[in-house]
Amino acid sequence: MDLPKTPSFTLPGKRALVTGAGRGIGLAAAAALAQAGAEVTLAARTLADVEAAAAALRAQGLAAQALSLDVTDLTRMQEELDATEPFDVLVNNAGTNRPSAFLDVTVENFDLVMNINVRAAYFVAQTVARGMVKAGKGGSIIHISSQMGHVGSARRSIYCASKWAMEGFSKAMAIELAPHKVRVNTLAPTFIQTPMTKPFFEDEKFRASVVGMIKLGRIGEVEDLMGAIVFLASDASALMTGSSLVVDGGWTAE
């Protein structure tokens, strides 16, 4: 009897780019992809961070290199990425948050968050997708969105706007790129312990309110996302595009 065979969760021979890979979720995504066999380029503004991360991966016998890149500098970003071999996988992760009461939101903070979470993420995806289409081998684009791309939350009107925008362009990209076998999905995590969220959780009341919303009763760790990253990057998700993988401990179930 011929039993169905589980598609591969490994990524041998694949080239992956992770933006914002110096720490937090991006670093975990880079480690996950490298451990699955991909050759990973880790990009961030702070070259020392990505160099240290790439060196740590290489020390484990994995394939990794660092790239100094500010994704908001669109001209330079396009030049840098056009100068590399095309990628098979993009983890479009660089992003930020400036929590603020809606009535107090400043134009400066609105522009700062939208500039990186929407404008830069959109054009990084376009640049990498052009390379994928030209290479003609297909690919997987993973946008790091958020549960806040599916719901609303107090003090997060800019962040929600940015991640709902990402969910929107991800779906539109998926439709246009499907004929080229380029899959486009988002990963939508709940609150994860990272350098970005560390200051938020110093407020004990806020921390308790977050844990109260996560039905599994704990804040996420970056390791909670690593399996999802490998799944979305690999043939295991071959029929998945235009979708969102929500890893939220049950936050949005209610």
Residues with active-site annotation? 159
Site string for ligand NAP, 215-234 (x = CB under 6 A): --------------------
Candidates 57-65, 190-198, 206-214, 238-246: pick the segment binding ligand NAP (CB under 6 A).
190-198
Q: Is 186 in the site for ligand NAP (CB under 6 A)?
A: no
Site string for ligand NAP, 98-137 (x = CB under 6 A): ------------------x---------------------
Total residues belonging to the chain: 254
* Residue whose CB is less far from ligand NAP, 8 or 126: 126
Residue written as token pair 């979305």: 232
Burial of 155 from C-beta contacts in 10 A (0-12 / 13-18 / 19+):
middle
Q: Is 54 in the site for ligand NAP (CB under 6 A)?
A: no
Q: Is 45 in the site for ligand NAP (CB under 6 A)?
A: yes
The tokens describing 78, both together, are 């396009």
Which residues lie across from 222 on neighbouring strands? none
Q: Is 70 in the site for ligand NAP (CB under 6 A)?
A: yes
To ligand NAP, the closest distance from the beta carbon of 108 in angstroms equals 16
158 and 109 in contact (C-beta within 8 Å)? yes
CB hemisphere CA count around 184 (13 angstroms): 25
- The count of other CB atoms within 10 Å of the CB of residue 77 is 19
Tell which one of 95, 131, 139, 249 touches ligand NAP (CB under 6 A): 95
Cβ partners under 8 Å of residue 225, min gap 6: 25, 28, 29, 32, 187, 189, 192, 247
Q: Tell me which residues touch ligand NAP (CB under 6 A).
A: 19-20, 22-26, 44-46, 49, 69-72, 93-95, 97, 116, 144, 146, 189, 191-192, 194-197
